[in-house]
A and B are shown apart, each in its own frame.
Chain A
Amino acid sequence: MKPITLQLKKRLKYRIDMSCLSTLSKNSSSLASKIIMYGNKQFKIKDLFSIKGDDVNNIVIKSSVHLLDNIGKKLRDINITVYGDVGYSLGEQMISGKLEVYGNTLDYTASGMKGGSIFIYGDTGNYTCGKSNSLNEGMIDGLLFIKGNVGNNSIERMRRGNIIIEGNIGDYGCHQMISGTVMIKGKIGKFFAEEIKRGSIFTKDKNLVKNYNKSNNAEYNFTSFFIKEISKIISKNLFINNNSLVRYCGHKDTNNLSEIFLFKG
């Protein structure tokens, strides 16, 4: 079986809600005649996309543009690969499966994510991995890998899960983080990790640890294992070298219990 491949037939002007991809029945012919709105008119998917392949568990979207919203919203057990940019709310409240994007995404990427994994080989917008519309929880679980930069107000109220960012992160990152692990290679914006409760952050930004207590006799066996495992999942070497890690834990003034690992690089 070959993955279902969707290719846009024409240049788009209006936004399209693609959340119907997540609720596919196990019959590829039903996809073609699935109704989506384009502008204020109803279309069948086959009117806008050329469709090839028949494996409903693997979907490929080619020549995607930033007007395709809600790709992989509430996704369950399906793999979607996108070549090109995507719109708002990629993988919002995703439950399981895998999303890969070879392009940039707009706001609310991976908001309220509950599980599965998302790989973005480009930049993401604001509110990445934030609270989804009206839900009070941010990321609940899952893995998010971002090759590029991340916008403002990202990673709000994260509860569990792992986030790896190879680029920079904007202002107000990790606000009210409850738990989980965030690894950031690049620069960190203003007001980072305010009102954080617990959780682990890997960074090389020394400013962050100003008011933290240094753990003098910390062991790094687990981090070494963890870094190896993460490297396996993202199938390349992580930017963190276990030997250079220094652990800081607990803020001096507030009662937050978060830990920060400084690395050199």
Chain B
Amino acid sequence: MASQNDNKNLVCPFCSLHCDDVSVTTDNNQYKVNESNNVCAKKIDTYNLNNKSMLLPKKGAKVVSLSSALEDIRNIIKGHNETLIINHGVDLSGVRSMLNFASQKNYIIDHINSKFLYQNIGVVQRTGYMATSLTEAKNRADVVMVFGNQIFDKSPRLLEKVLGAKNSLYMKKKKELILIGDFSENIIKEIKKKCNVTNVKLDLDLTNDFLNATSLDSSEAVKGLKKSKLSNIKNIINKSKYLVAIWLASDFIKAKNPKKIISSISKYIVDRNILSRAACMPISGSLADATSSQALTWTTGFSSRIKHSEGTFKHDRNAFDSKHLIDNNNVDVVIHISTISPDKLKLNKNVKNIVLGHPNTTFTMAPDIFIPVGIPGIDYEGIMFRTDNVVSVALKSIRGIKLPTTQNILDKLA
């Protein structure tokens, strides 16, 4: 049990940066972030239990015991023929038991963010690619191109920890940030405190034209961009020794051709490496996307959308797309596993919905069975992968509520 007023170090499970320098005070199983000026404190606090939290399993609207909930799940999955597991975020142990569970019963597994994942993977699978990681960007990058506009909302401490970090091994000046897309004034104001900013308001579909125009020998113009500004940008870029391009794949989803944006950024970075150094650093989503894709890749060879059939895992990017499967009514039972975010889960009334979730989860409709499970990094220890896919963090347990882990539940069902 966590005692009162205990200072603990939290390894934050909530976004793909997985900061490990957040200290919290626990009090009666509520925790509070210590540094008041920390940009994420409010966000993390909202994951505390509240009076609406569900700590016991529910069948419809009725509270039931864990064993009877498990029995009900067993009955549901026994009586139906196609089951889909959707991963909305869980740690490594959860992914491992999910794979084990699916392999015994021939289930389909998909991650809710697969479509964004595939946009980034597409570049690796089809062309050359230069990547970098957070610490490299912090210490080496002199110019950073940021595409999209949600990136600082989704990874709030990216600016403080990496792009505008106080200490850097080799960068004694402020980093030059080139913001491409439609950034709000507030964010720009915030960034200007820590970096030099050039704001390029640009339709992201013109990314390719913009990048081509910034090469030294180019005389092309870009729609909606002044010539003087362009030559200014040219100067900054061509002086750079270590250029980093960052983006959030989900930012491009409204663009007409998201894949093309990413491939043109990647191609641009690869070309820059002929004479100078440059690298890409896509930021992944905050639902443990990296953890899921890494673990699935090493166990099956495929990063998402797999089904166990005839003794092995098979992959089909279209046929095992969870959205299509549910929309077209091709599955009977959907098991949602959502341990990190309490955000509203979209459930579909045509299928049986089983949810293993965060105690604060809300739904669009009541699931058939809901089992509250522990949050990795809050209720139990685990491993998660950071956005750059190379660093994994060891999550800690900071409060003493006895919730079962996803692994416990899935292993009992398997």
Please indicate whether A and B come from the same complex rather than being unrelated chains: yes
B106 at the interface (CB under 8 A from A): yes
Knowing A134-B125, A191-B256 are in contact, say whether A42-B310 is a contact too (CB < 8 A).
Answer: yes
B234 at the interface (CB under 8 A from A): no
Cβ–Cβ < 8 Å partners of B330 in chain A: 13-15, 67
Contact A69–B319 (Cβ < 8 Å) = yes
A221 at the interface (CB under 8 A from B): no
B314's nearest neighbour on chain A, judged by CB, is: A17
Knowing A35-B310, A136-B126 are in contact, say whether A40-B318 is a contact too (CB < 8 A).
Answer: no
Contact A40–B105 (Cβ < 8 Å) = yes
Q: Kindly state the separation between the CA atoms of A69 and B256 in the bound complex, as whole angstroms.
A: 28
B316 at the interface (CB under 8 A from A): yes
Cβ–Cβ < 8 Å partners of A188 in chain B: none
Knowing A40-B83, A40-B105, A40-B107 are in contact, say whether A191-B317 is a contact too (CB < 8 A).
Answer: no
Q: Kindly state the separation between the CA atoms of A156 and B331 in the bound complex, as whole angstroms.
A: 31
A133 at the interface (CB under 8 A from B): yes
Distance of B392 from chain A, by nearest CB (Å): 25
Interface centre among B107, B317, B318, B330 (most CB of A within 10 A): B318
Q: Kindly state the separation between the CA atoms of A89 and B332 in the bound complex, as whole angstroms.
A: 24
Cβ–Cβ < 8 Å partners of A131 in chain B: 126
Interface size class of A (residues with CB under 8 A): 20 to 34
Residue in contact with A172 in the complex, picked from B105, B257, B309, B319, CB distance below 8 Å? B257
Residue in contact with B318 in the complex, picked from A14, A42, A67, A107, CB distance below 8 Å? A107
Interface SS, A side: loop
Contact A41–B81 (Cβ < 8 Å) = yes
Q: Kindly state the separation between the CA atoms of A98 and B319 in the bound complex, as whole angstroms.
A: 24
Q: Kindly state the separation between the CA atoms of A106 and B324 in the bound complex, as whole angstroms.
A: 12
B5 at the interface (CB under 8 A from A): no
Contact A40–B106 (Cβ < 8 Å) = yes
Could you give, for residues 93-121 of chain B, a 1 whenever the CB lies within 8 Å of some chain A CB and a 0 otherwise?
00000000000011100000000000000
Q: In B330-379, which residues have CB < 8 Å from any A CB?
A: 330-332
Knowing A38-B81, A40-B83, A191-B257 are in contact, say whether A17-B107 is a contact too (CB < 8 A).
Answer: no
Contact B319–A39 (Cβ < 8 Å) = no
Cβ–Cβ < 8 Å partners of A87 in chain B: 319
Cβ–Cβ < 8 Å partners of A172 in chain B: 257
Cβ–Cβ < 8 Å partners of A14 in chain B: 81-82, 330-331
Distance of A149 from chain B, by nearest CB (Å): 19
Cβ–Cβ < 8 Å partners of B81 in chain A: 13-14, 38-41
A108 at the interface (CB under 8 A from B): yes
B276 at the interface (CB under 8 A from A): no
Contact A69–B310 (Cβ < 8 Å) = no
Distance of B206 from chain A, by nearest CB (Å): 13
Q: Kindly state the separation between the CA atoms of A88 and B386 in the bound complex, as whole angstroms.
A: 34
Cβ–Cβ < 8 Å partners of B325 in chain A: 15
Cβ–Cβ < 8 Å partners of A191 in chain B: 256-257
Cβ–Cβ < 8 Å partners of A15 in chain B: 319, 325, 330
Cβ–Cβ < 8 Å partners of A136 in chain B: 125-127
Contact A13–B329 (Cβ < 8 Å) = yes
Distance of A162 from chain B, by nearest CB (Å): 25
Could you give, for residues 289-326 of chain B, a 1 whenever the CB lies within 8 Å of some chain A CB and a 0 otherwise?
00000000000000000010110001111110000010
Q: Kindly state the separation between the CA atoms of A136 and B125 in the bound complex, as whole angstroms.
A: 8
B108's nearest neighbour on chain A, judged by CB, is: A40
Residue in contact with A13 in the complex, picked from B82, B127, B317, CB distance below 8 Å? B82
Q: In A67-89, which residues have CB < 8 Å from any B CB?
A: 67, 69-70, 87-89
Distance of B295 from chain A, by nearest CB (Å): 19
A37 at the interface (CB under 8 A from B): yes
Could you give, for residues 29-46 of chain A, a 1 whenever the CB lies within 8 Å of some chain B CB and a 0 otherwise?
000000101111110000
Contact B318–A106 (Cβ < 8 Å) = yes
Q: Kindly state the separation between the CA atoms of A67 and B329 in the bound complex, as whole angstroms.
A: 11
Cβ–Cβ < 8 Å partners of B106 in chain A: 37, 40-41
Which A positions have Cβ atoms within 8 angstroms of B? 13-15, 17, 35, 37-42, 67, 69-70, 87-89, 106-108, 131, 133-134, 136, 171-172, 191
Apart from A37-B307, A37-B309, A69-B319, what are 5 other A-B pairs with CB-CB below 8 Å? A40-B82, A69-B318, A88-B319, A108-B318, A131-B126
Which B positions have Cβ atoms within 8 angstroms of A? 80-83, 105-107, 125-127, 256-257, 307, 309-310, 314-319, 325, 329-332
5 CB < 8 A contacts A-B: A13-B81, A13-B330, A15-B330, A41-B81, A136-B125
The 8 closest A-B pairs by CB, nearest first: A39-B81, A40-B106, A39-B82, A37-B309, A88-B318, A14-B82, A136-B126, A134-B125
